[in-house]
């Protein structure tokens, strides 16, 4: 469960605003075509997004929800069903664990996975557990059922500040664990919220990913 988001626009105004954002960021001049694609996308079932926070300061999440230039959080929640986000959700403890387990079980192969924050590698991840499972084992397991895996922000991509020596947790980035071919990396401190929204919009609207470079970064914007 999440707090109720009060609409800032009518549906028509929202789609128009979203279209102009995507046109400017993705360098796609055909705004009318983007509007049609958004309308089609909004008529379909939204994929669930699991947003995990590991060794982080929550700055990437804060950047997304507090950006004033564009309503990026509203854009994101129009594209995905943000069911699990430890900073924003009401559920805690056993209730949150049950929700996560339900998503992983019932939506196998359909959910999107986003990681914010570095991964503690020390003692094979036993310094941090999720639902009683070492975080390394947990991430490997749930990534196998994800349709898309994202590392958002420098900490998630390459360990960031938690990996700076001396690093008592031996922090690493998600691509170090799963491989660059499996993870889409969005650099930045905080993570670039516009790029995140544009990437997921591209994935939803065109049913494919934009070009990806050898470091796993999307070539957009």
> 46-193 in CATH: which number?
3.40.50.700
Q: In this prediction, what percent of the chain has a pLDDT beyond 70? A: 96
Q: How far apart are the first and last CA of the chain?
A: 32
What is the Cα–Cα distance from 37 to 43, expressed in whole angstroms? 10
Q: What is the pLDDT of residue 124?
A: 80
CA-CA-CA-CA torsion sign (204, 14, 44, 151): positive
123 secondary structure, DSSP code: G
Burial class (CB within 10 angstroms; exposed 0-12, middle 13-18, buried 19+) of 219:
exposed
Nearest to 56 by CA among 143, 151, 162: 162
What is the Cα–Cα distance from 91 to 66, expressed in whole angstroms? 22
What is the Cα–Cα distance from 101 to 188, expressed in whole angstroms? 30
pLDDT at 20 over 80: yes
Tell me how crowded residue 149 is: count the other CB atoms within 10 A of its CB: 21
Q: Region 166-181: what's the mean pLDDT?
A: 94
The pLDDT-based confidence of 127 (bands split at 50, 70, 90) is confident
Q: Region 40-45: what's the mean pLDDT?
A: 93
18 secondary structure, DSSP code: H
pLDDT at 112 over 60: yes
φ, ψ for residue 94, nearest 5 deg: -65, -35
The pLDDT-based confidence of 80 (bands split at 50, 70, 90) is very high
Q: What is the pLDDT of residue 11?
A: 87
pLDDT at 2 over 60: no
Contact 175, 156 (CB under 8 A): no
Mean pLDDT of the chain: 92
DSSP letters for 151-202 = EESHHHHH-TGGGSSS-TT-EE-HHHHH-TTT-EEE-TTTT-HHHHHHHHHH
118 secondary structure, DSSP code: B
What is the Cα–Cα distance from 61 to 63, expressed in whole angstroms? 5
The strand pair at 133-134 and 129-130 is best described as antiparallel
The strand pair at 48-53 and 112-116 is best described as parallel
Residue 60 tokens, joined: 């990437």
């Amino acid at each position: 469960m999440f707090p109720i988001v009060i609409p800032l626009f009518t549906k028509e105004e929202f789609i128009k605003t979203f279209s102009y954002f995507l046109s400017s960021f993705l360098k796609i001049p055909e705004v009318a075509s983007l509007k049609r694609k958004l309308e089609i996308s909004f008529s379909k079932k939204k994929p669930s997004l699991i947003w995990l926070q590991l060794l982080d300061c929550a700055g990437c999440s804060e950047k997304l929800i507090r950006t004033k230039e564009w309503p990026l959080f509203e854009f994101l929640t129009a594209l995905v069903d943000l069911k699990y986000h430890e900073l924003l959700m009401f559920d805690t403890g056993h209730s949150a664990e049950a929700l996560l387990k339900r998503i992983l079980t019932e939506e196998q192969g359909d959910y999107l996975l986003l990681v914010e924050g570095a991964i503690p590698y020390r003692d094979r991840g036993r310094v941090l557990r999720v639902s009683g499972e070492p975080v390394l084992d947990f991430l490997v397991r749930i990534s196998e059922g994800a349709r898309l895996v994202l590392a958002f922000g420098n900490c998630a991509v390459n360990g960031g500040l938690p990996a700076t020596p001396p690093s008592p947790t031996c922090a690493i980035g998600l691509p170090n664990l799963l491989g660059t071919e499996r993870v889409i990396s969005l650099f930045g401190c905080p993570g670039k919220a516009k790029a995140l929204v544009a990437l997921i919009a591209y994935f939803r609207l065109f049913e494919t990913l934009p070009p990806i470079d050898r470091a796993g970064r999307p070539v957009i914007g």
